Structure 1
Amino acid sequence: METAALLQKYNVAAPRYTSYPTVPYWDPTTFSPEKWISAVQSIYADHKDEGISLYIHLPYCESLCTYCGCNTRITKNHAVELPYINAVLAEWKMYQNLLGSTPNIKELHLGGGTPTFFKPENLKILIEGILAGVEVSPDATFSFEAHPANTTEAHLRTLHHLGFKRLSLGIQDFDPKVQVMINRFQTPQQVTAVMRQAREIGFDSINFDLIYGLPAQNISGLSETIEAVIEMKPDRIAFYSYAHVPWLKPGQRHYTVEDLPAGSEKFALYQMGKKMLIKAGYEDVGMDHFALKTDTLFTASAEKKLHRNFMGYTDQHTHLLIGLGVSSISDSWTAFAQNPKSIEAYLDKINADLLPVEKGHLLSDEDLEIRQHILNIMCRENTSYPEAIPEAVVKRLSPLIKDQLIQVCGKEINITQTGKSFLRNVCMAFDEKLWARQPETKLFSAAI
């Protein structure tokens, strides 16, 4: 089938599969904070030696990037910093008490929002509080997200001194027309300056986030952005498809679908960017990610150790991921839990000395089996069944086989080179909850 026909056929609403089941299909009826605590304690006891992952959500931004799908709070009032940090530290203390022994930190990531909204001295208070009374694994990975326009040398030096070696810069696009539409501004010069400082200080892995499919974006402008990115040579690049979900994110109503490249036009942006990055020496890793061969993300992919969780792709794999802060999602492998999405509700629970868990899901044996298949597809581009592939799955895979997106040999399913651009569609074939209850309202962004 021609590429244009494949795009038309498979450009359907699809989950990004940072988890299975996906959040809209969690079952709150069987979940409770008490069961979540039990799941955390059980998995920690079974896998204590491997360490745990921590994600800390820092939601504040000084201005709204209209494309953004994250949970944010827009303010210029920096007096919010310390009360929020104290709440996060109180939540972490609750988890430390539940774990009952000194946790070993394998992975720590600051996301947002804009972590560099916070003053360096306040980030120091946060991280020193998190690391008090814990062990840090010798091969731990500490990383943070940053806005190039407000990341100072003091931010970089403070966090590097605390163990951070990985930096992720939100670029999206350097085209001035696009930046006006999405209300996010940074120049190549600003990014180059931040990178130079980070390298001199000792950061050994720098990631850029780029997005294709943004309003007013075109081949010419995006190619200039990617040329500039290649010149800067970050270690890894996340090249995401823009998710247009104005029913969830009102900020995206700043523009309309008429402003967006769509269908074959949008896919052409991706194909062009991918071609340029691979020609420049980047390797295609997982879905939407590219890495130099010297980067650990590539190494993990080559060694079949790549993992995917609520933070995206990672070269670390722990069974327990604890999310701290408003809207953060935690994963104990057999259960998921999410904190309240509003800062006020989150602080109310903390002030009442309650673990701030608002909703969650306990995974059944079937959930766990499907989760592993989806992880295999997303991270290793193949999966296999111990027995025959279930009949329902075979039926759903049939059109994917016909369109040469996958190959099936006995009990094994492999992604083809063409199929790498349609991983979300392939994963849908395994998603029993999605097929059992088709959404009646818009839940997911388009797959391409």
Structure 2
Amino acid sequence: MTEPSSRRILGLALPALGVLAAEPLYLLFDIAVVGHLGALPLAGLAVGGLILAMLSTQLTFLSYGTTARAARLHGSGDERGAVAEGVQATYLAVGIGLAVVAAVYAVGGPVTSAIAGDAEIAAAALSWLRIAVFGAPLILVAMAGNGWMRGVQNTLRPLRFVLVGLAVSAAACPVLVHGLLGAPRWELEGSAVANVAGQSVTAACFVVALLRERVPLRPHATVMRAQVVLGRDLILRSLAFQACFLSAAAVAARFGAAAVAAHQVVLQLWNLLALTLDSLAIAAQTLVGAALGAGNAAQARQLAGRLARWSTVFAVLLAGAFALGVSVLPGLFTADPEVLDQIGVIWWFFVAIIPVAGVVFALDGVLLGAGDVAFLRTATLGCALVGFLPPIWLSLEFDWGLAGIWAGLTVFMMLRMLAVVWRTGSGRWAVTGADTQAGRRSE
């Protein structure tokens, strides 16, 4: 197995970036369409969308875990086995997705009420959510499809499938929301229907692609159980992130409207950077998993160093761009002087952690590709408990403001960097063979 060229790495990373960015961009379009209905429907979309997004975020193991397992099998030469991982992940996606639908119908009312804090907003959110949740199994099928296709080093087809589905949603959304072209005017519910329509198309594309591979379709409990084991650790890791960022938002809100607005602006920029750097992390997952599956631990280690260097250089360039843009970029989001003052407090924390993120995200991808998720789970939980949550809550106690919150994020990222650099340098993750559980046994 020859070492991948720079062109090959970019050929995996750039389509992956397109997939990562497509959904957030469509959500902005959806918000713009619904926003013309007024404040109440927009608030309902915000609350309902938050609930659905939080559910789907916890289930990304269907993508990342499937990539890790399929990449090893692909590297070992077992192409049919790699695709078969997608079959089992798709069964899991459908089963978990139907459970999500049932859960929303069982407890959606109390949950939307608790989050919204207003009866009218909660009613609007629940009305949207009860339609949109039928897209949950479809979203999860697409995650599973992305997972096995990344594992066999095909990131271009998933991009096409996602773009086709989003094009359907984008065409249907204004028509159904505002009753254009003779269609019924369904307002907020029209947004949910449009979302499900597009998700149906994307999921259908992935299922057809799977069927065309002509691999056995019989469910295998042992494979699904192994995928769930990976998923458990990834879910716990994701919950650590959710706890940190929800705590940060809650504390920021207690420092006033200007503080929470500034925090939201910079956090959205951070999320955009995370998507960008994650594209290289996905390439790392795919290529490292394949190298280990082929029995080439030396190449996996070389790839780890190479991709970490790429990601760090890219992150440093991004940090430089944001440093130079300090007098211009915040003004693109707000003209409020108080909000701009608060952004100024945290801007340099934001700039400083971008290079750190370049290292962390790349090596996260390496360890995910190796199936070393037990270490990532433990490291992330430990860094959150030690580095992020204490400064957040101490900021509230001692009135440190946003500076304290973002200092906590900085410490969190620094500790994560130390953890993944140490783990990567130890070489304990570089366990060869087609079985991702080998990495767990090395713990």
Please tell me the TM-score bracket, short chain as reference. under 0.3
Higher normalized strand content (fraction of residues): 1
User: How does the TM-score come out when normalised to structure 1?
Assistant: 0.26
If the length of structure 2 is used for normalisation, what is the TM-score?
A: 0.27
